[in-house]
Structure 1
Amino acid sequence: MSKDPRQEETFRHSPDTAWRRVEDDAVVLDLRSGVYFSLNDTAARMWELLGEGLDAAEVAEQVSEEYGQELSEVRADLGGLVRQLRKEGLLLPSSPA
């Protein structure tokens, strides 16, 4: 099983995805398989911020502040989301600069 993201780790959306906000949620389509994934509001915000190049620590801090959630809880949720998105091939590690 893959580990939680390191706090300084950054990611990018796979080029094989298309996504859109639908009300408070988001729908992410895997263009290779045609399978789509639904993300709730908090996960959708994490997805957006990860795609903007923020590292895991920055994403957790921003989501914690925006949603009024405990930072430790957000970090745990983010770790689970990143693991799942990477497993599905929707989220990739950013290339080293």
Structure 2
Amino acid sequence: MKYVHCNNIDWKEFDDESVLLNLSTGYYFRLNPVGTFIWPLISREHTISGIADRVVEKFDVSQHQAKTDMHDFIEQLLAEQLIQKA
């Protein structure tokens, strides 16, 4: 499954963290360093599995942990209306 950023999202990166602002709702969402790494990969049409592979390489976590965390992260981004299915 592939996802894309919603059009109404503004993204600002600060050091190793980011803030996403939903311009429609006015709500913001803070990303930790891993989320900040993942966010631009979503817009490049990577699959969730492909992004998990990149997380394993970058952050030295297990494949299982990366996929589990990716699933939870994607669900959270969908719930906050920050991404949508491609």
TM-score between the two structures when normalised by the length of structure 2: 0.95
Cα distance, 1:92 vs structure 2? 0.6
Name the counterpart of 1:11: 3
Which of 17, 25, 30 matches 2:22?
Answer: 30
Cα distance, 1:63 vs structure 2? 0.9
Mapped to 2, the partners of 1:56 and 1:72 lie a distance apart of 13
- Structure 2: gaps spanning 5 or more residues: none
Query: 1:47 is aligned with what amino acid?
Result: W
1:5-44 CA distances to partner (integer Å, 9 max, x unpaired)? xxxx111000010102111011100001111110001011
2:73 corresponds to 1:81 = yes
Mapped to 2, the partners of 1:48 and 1:74 lie a distance apart of 17
Report the count of equivalent residues: 86
- Structure 1: gaps spanning 5 or more residues: 1-8
After TM superposition, the runs of 4+ consecutive aligned structure 1 residues lying more than 2 A away are none
2:52 corresponds to 1:60 = yes
If each structure's helix is expressed as a fraction of its own residues, which one has the higher value? Answer: 2
What is the Cα-based RMSD across aligned positions, in Å? 0.8
